[in-house]
Structure 1
Amino acid sequence: MTATIIHLATPEDTVRLGQDLGLALRKGDLVLLSGDLGAGKSTLARGLIRTIADDRDYEVPSPTFTIVQSYPDLRLPISHVDLYRLSSADEVDELGLDEALMEGAVVVEWPERAEGALARPSLSVALVSDGEGRKALIDGETAALARLQRSLAIREFLAASGLAQAERRYLLGDASARGYETVAAGTEQPLILMNSPFNPGGPVLRDGKTYMQIAHLSQSVSAFVALDRLLSSRNYTVPKIHAGDLENGFLLLEHLGGDGVLDADGAPIIERYEETIRLLANIHQQAWPHEAEVGDGTMHHIHEFDRDAMMIEVELLSDWYVRRISGIELDGVQKAAYVAAWDAVINQLNGCETSLLLRDVHSPNILWRRNEVGIRRVGLIDFQDAMIGPSAYDVASLIFDARVTISPYLQDHLLGVYIHERNSAGSDFDEPDFRKALAIMAAQRNAKILGIFIRLDERDGKSYYLKHLPRIQTYFDRVVRHPALAPVREWCEKAGIFSPES
């Protein structure tokens, strides 16, 4: 593969390359920096480490005399290595680099002093003279190079948006393939960069479709753009889109702030949850289209939350969670009984009220806009997977918040606020039917999440989500008691994974 060449006219360009490189790194990456004295290796390493530290003034001393300078408490632990003073290549084994790579990434200056004693690098960066400035020649393993190319493409997107020199910082990654950064744009509030490459959806599972296609999950940023435009047209608070590259999956969004619906201790702020439930009531009183304009002459189809989508999601529990809890694989008869139980439950949703459901209305995706009024104080940021389906779904998502415990008392209170709003609107709101749909949707959603969080751990190495399992198990136990869930409750009791009546 031909080496990537980056021209570096100034030291600031080298620092920005450090940002781009740092945002592409993963645990286990070994990065080699070579070049003459004064070539900019330490400048590049410093920019990389400060980006991962999310601190432009973070102290990064030279490891020339210590040889290894470790930063174990960063988001991605980094070991910064300078081999200039290495007496012998044999000393490399004493530096503990293999252990460091198991925990984070390693950046090595003067790698040639190791005389081949280092492991195969993920990326190699050679800084060489280039007339008035320098250039970086970058080579490496295919996967690492692909990550770096993606990061460099973001820099090109920012340049095309007038932000070539903007500082980039990691914000978060979520349970999907999407990633987010903050971009300093010279304004009081930075912008948000959404990095969402087209997702082909994985292997075909049934009927020629992947899981994402069956569950109607968005595969490109076009869905976000269309739903953002639709919600904004109805005067809901969603991020303004400042720039977009739909083909490559980049969006530059308004930053709605960091004020959410939880207090400093991570507990629900009741007023903010109340306003969010009122927002849902308002959404559910409106008629919604099945098509939304993307803005480039195309339309985004808003799918129905149909039986196939519901079933593929609840099967995550039988396919992943049950095995983790019981240690055994379900046989064909047991799996068929599970599917039949859910089929009987989902039948009861026929004729229930439907509306736009945003899919993940819970604490990580709700921002509080104190300078707004009424329901506009509730900012929404995650709605690209929106569908048309039972209105009760998003209410279940909120009051059975997967990331924070909502007590039964608060659940009942919020549900009361919602029902009051719906009844006050003067529409034909069927409360008993809604409560039944709420129980079914809460059970369906929590069954899905139990399976997803196990899958994230076992398949994707994302163990962070396991800490939420006890809460979600409790939610599922609670809602499966509803008479409408009897077939699923009986299956779970027979399988020995829940005892809801105890």
Structure 2
Amino acid sequence: MDQSFDLVDETDTAALGRALAGLLAPGSVLMLSGPIGSGKSHLARALIRARLGEAVEVPSPTFTLVQTYPGEPEIWHADLYRLTHPDEVLELGLEEAFSTAICLVEWPDRLGKATPPGAHHLTFTACGEGRRLTLSPGIEGLPQAFRDMQAEDFLTRHGLENAPREALGGDASARRYTRLPGLLLMDAPKDQPDRTEDFTRIAKHLRDIGLSAPQVPAEDHSRGFLLVEDLGPNLYPQAIATDPSLERPLYEAAVDVLRHLQSHPAPQGLPNLTAADWAEAAALVLDPKTSPQARADFTGTLAETLALADGPRVLILRDYHAENLLWLPRQGLARVGLLDFQLAQMGQPGYDLISLTQDARRDVAPELEAHLITRFDPSPDFAAACAALGAQRALRILGIFARLAKQGRPRYLSLIPRVQRHLARNLAHPALAPLKSLCDKLL
């Protein structure tokens, strides 16, 4: 399968060369194609130095045609621009080198039929302000190796190349975190919906209204890296495990943060999904073989059910639950540290409350949940709104967890029974009878 890499500048080209260096073996042949100045020689130079040392002189082979470098194996760097006939390849000794050395060949079209089978073709093309490199066929492990090199370059630019590091456990997203002294490195690949620009923007908004979101001392949005303030390890589950008497006040503080958050105008330009959009997101739970009519009945009924919860839209943080909240040594609402809010959008007032009280990862006692709902909104009709939002959220999570398990992440299977219990309890509300009837048939 082909692989593509977006190279913002020469730093990325060199990073890709270093990543390739650790994955090549005797007989590896790289055919480097692209216009003059596209980065072929820059990538080759970085690759050679990564294998042999940064002090190695790597002249261009434009005039010598071939430069060889001793090692295990040898490295051959060829520039065939001045060749006039493929037979001249024999005189250079490249045919034998193709099977025993690592060979980097610029202007490989000059090889004609002498192109070795199994060679990797690297093609540079313009892409915005930078370049895109397409590799055919791809090399196993290269995307992650390249990403690791980009991260190293980002840390080096900020003087952290030698800082001690601790890799942190991931979640359902493609983001990765590494703990550094006082900081976290956020690695958020650009092909994902979780954008570093959104994290920075929402973090600033939260801090501006007096809440505890991390500071962001360094950012590279073009590649998807941030250095963010490390608010510490005292997540809600750990704090409660250490002192169970803290559970009620911690959750009350989290509810008060939501009320404070929703009392302020949201940033402009955030996504604002319709009830139909929310219903469609929950359709992940349906069997792929579900008929189009049954799917339409499901999403239509769920959209009508969500009308129970709708009203003036407010800023919601989307993943507002215990594992994204910290208990900090600060005062007032600032005691609650906030994480994982980059997908924030406009939504229903009760959405984050239900995310908190119907947590897929930990149990919240029914009496505590009832207390928190009343603390947030004591009106008698709010219970129906909570049931509607809880049903939508549980349906969507069940679909996501099932797919993650099928993709080789079975740890999510252990969370499904709790979410099923949330769903059953929400569907038991009389106002959700039509949705319950459909779920009984389709799920």
Match among 276, 283, 297 for residue 315 of structure 1: 283
Q: CA deviation at 1:349?
A: 4.0
Instruction: Report the number of matched residues.
Output: 331
Q: CA deviation at 1:433?
A: 4.1
1:149 corresponds to which residue? 146
Once residues 211 and 430 of structure 2 are traced to their aligned partners in structure 1, the CA distance between those partners, rounded to angstroms, is 36
Matched, 1:475 2:422: yes
Secondary structure of 2:347's counterpart equals: strand
- What TM-score results when the alignment is normalised by the length of structure 1? 0.60
Query: Could you tell me whether the CA contact under 8 Å between 1:359 and 1:386 is conserved in 2?
Result: yes
Secondary structure of 2:333's counterpart equals: helix
Q: CA deviation at 1:340?
A: 2.5
Matched, 1:330 2:290: yes
Query: Could you tell me whether the CA contact under 8 Å between 2:233 and 2:326 is conserved in 1?
Result: yes
Once residues 455 and 135 of structure 1 are traced to their aligned partners in structure 2, the CA distance between those partners, rounded to angstroms, is 46
Distance change >3 Å, CA 143–CA 135, structure 1 → 2: same
Q: CA deviation at 1:488?
A: 0.9
Distance change >3 Å, CA 163–CA 333, structure 1 → 2: same
Once residues 319 and 266 of structure 1 are traced to their aligned partners in structure 2, the CA distance between those partners, rounded to angstroms, is 43
Gaps of 5+ in 2: 3-14, 27-48, 58-69, 76-101, 103-119, 121-137
Q: How far does the alpha carbon of each residue in 1:256-279 deviate from its partner, in whole angstroms, 9 at most, with x for none?
A: 011121233897822211111111
- Runs of 4+ in structure 1 off by over 6 angstroms are 30-34, 132-140, 265-268
Secondary structure of 2:230's counterpart equals: coil
1:207 corresponds to which residue? none
Match among 161, 173, 177 for residue 174 of structure 2: 177
Q: How far does the alpha carbon of each residue in 1:160-181 deviate from its partner, in whole angstroms, 9 at most, with x for none?
A: 1121222332112221111111
Distance change >3 Å, CA 169–CA 241, structure 1 → 2: same
Distance change >3 Å, CA 451–CA 129, structure 1 → 2: closer
Q: How far does the alpha carbon of each residue in 1:47-85 deviate from its partner, in whole angstroms, 9 at most, with x for none?
A: xxxxxxxxxxxxxxxxxxxxxxxxxxxxxxxxxxxxxxx
Match among 314, 327, 333 for residue 355 of structure 1: 314
Once residues 164 and 145 of structure 1 are traced to their aligned partners in structure 2, the CA distance between those partners, rounded to angstroms, is 21
Matched, 1:341 2:285: no
2:160 corresponds to which residue? 163
2:93 corresponds to which residue? none
Gaps of 5+ in 1: 2-16, 25-29, 35-124, 185-189, 201-217, 292-300, 321-328, 421-430, 498-502
Match among 194, 198, 213 for residue 190 of structure 2: 198
Query: Could you tell me whether the CA contact under 8 Å between 1:396 and 1:442 is conserved in 2?
Result: yes
Query: Could you tell me whether the CA contact under 8 Å between 1:128 and 1:136 is conserved in 2?
Result: no
| Letter of the 2:241 counterpart | A
Query: Could you tell me whether the CA contact under 8 Å between 1:129 and 1:135 is conserved in 2?
Result: no
1:275 corresponds to which residue? 253
Once residues 266 and 494 of structure 1 are traced to their aligned partners in structure 2, the CA distance between those partners, rounded to angstroms, is 44
Q: CA deviation at 1:126?
A: 8.5
Distance change >3 Å, CA 130–CA 442, structure 1 → 2: closer
Once residues 381 and 437 of structure 2 are traced to their aligned partners in structure 1, the CA distance between those partners, rounded to angstroms, is 22
| Letter of the 1:361 counterpart | Y
Once residues 340 and 136 of structure 1 are traced to their aligned partners in structure 2, the CA distance between those partners, rounded to angstroms, is 65
| Letter of the 1:470 counterpart | P
Secondary structure of 1:257's counterpart equals: coil
| Letter of the 1:416 counterpart | T
Once residues 316 and 129 of structure 1 are traced to their aligned partners in structure 2, the CA distance between those partners, rounded to angstroms, is 51
Q: How far does the alpha carbon of each residue in 1:75-107 deviate from its partner, in whole angstroms, 9 at most, with x for none?
A: xxxxxxxxxxxxxxxxxxxxxxxxxxxxxxxxx
Q: How far does the alpha carbon of each residue in 1:129-154 deviate from its partner, in whole angstroms, 9 at most, with x for none?
A: 66599999999963412211111111
Distance change >3 Å, CA 234–CA 132, structure 1 → 2: same
Once residues 136 and 198 of structure 1 are traced to their aligned partners in structure 2, the CA distance between those partners, rounded to angstroms, is 36
Query: Could you tell me whether the CA contact under 8 Å between 2:194 and 2:343 is conserved in 1?
Result: no
Query: Could you tell me whether the CA contact under 8 Å between 1:353 and 1:434 is conserved in 2?
Result: no
Query: Could you tell me whether the CA contact under 8 Å between 2:278 and 2:303 is conserved in 1?
Result: no
Once residues 403 and 332 of structure 2 are traced to their aligned partners in structure 1, the CA distance between those partners, rounded to angstroms, is 39
1:456 corresponds to which residue? 404
Q: How far does the alpha carbon of each residue in 1:345-394 deviate from its partner, in whole angstroms, 9 at most, with x for none?
A: 134445x243111101101100110x211211100011111111111000
Q: CA deviation at 1:484?
A: 2.6
Once residues 483 and 280 of structure 1 are traced to their aligned partners in structure 2, the CA distance between those partners, rounded to angstroms, is 27
Distance change >3 Å, CA 33–CA 265, structure 1 → 2: farther
Q: CA deviation at 1:312?
A: 2.4
2:341 corresponds to which residue? 383
Secondary structure of 1:283's counterpart equals: helix
1:89 corresponds to which residue? none
Query: Could you tell me whether the CA contact under 8 Å between 1:33 and 1:126 is conserved in 2?
Result: no
Q: How far does the alpha carbon of each residue in 1:1-50 deviate from its partner, in whole angstroms, 9 at most, with x for none?
A: 9xxxxxxxxxxxxxxx9xx99xx9xxxxx97999xxxxxxxxxxxxxxxx
1:407 corresponds to which residue? 365
Secondary structure of 2:227's counterpart equals: strand
Task: Map residues 66-465 of structure 1 onto 2, 5 A cutoff.
Answer: 128=52, 142-184=139-181, 190-199=182-191, 218-262=193-237, 263-264=240-241, 269-289=247-267, 291=268, 301-319=269-287, 329-350=289-310, 352-369=311-328, 371-419=329-377, 431-458=379-406, 460-465=407-412
Once residues 206 and 50 of structure 2 are traced to their aligned partners in structure 1, the CA distance between those partners, rounded to angstroms, is 48
Q: CA deviation at 1:456?
A: 0.8
Note the aligned Cα RMSD (angstroms). 3.4
Once residues 312 and 205 of structure 2 are traced to their aligned partners in structure 1, the CA distance between those partners, rounded to angstroms, is 21
Once residues 220 and 163 of structure 1 are traced to their aligned partners in structure 2, the CA distance between those partners, rounded to angstroms, is 23
Query: Could you tell me whether the CA contact under 8 Å between 2:166 and 2:178 is conserved in 1?
Result: yes
| Letter of the 1:448 counterpart | R
Once residues 432 and 355 of structure 1 are traced to their aligned partners in structure 2, the CA distance between those partners, rounded to angstroms, is 21
| Letter of the 1:462 counterpart | R
Once residues 223 and 480 of structure 1 are traced to their aligned partners in structure 2, the CA distance between those partners, rounded to angstroms, is 34
Once residues 285 and 219 of structure 1 are traced to their aligned partners in structure 2, the CA distance between those partners, rounded to angstroms, is 25
Q: CA deviation at 1:440?
A: 1.0
Once residues 366 and 148 of structure 2 are traced to their aligned partners in structure 1, the CA distance between those partners, rounded to angstroms, is 45
| Letter of the 2:346 counterpart | I
Once residues 349 and 381 of structure 1 are traced to their aligned partners in structure 2, the CA distance between those partners, rounded to angstroms, is 25
Once residues 266 and 221 of structure 1 are traced to their aligned partners in structure 2, the CA distance between those partners, rounded to angstroms, is 34
Query: Could you tell me whether the CA contact under 8 Å between 1:319 and 1:451 is conserved in 2?
Result: no
Q: CA deviation at 1:155?
A: 0.9
2:29 corresponds to which residue? none
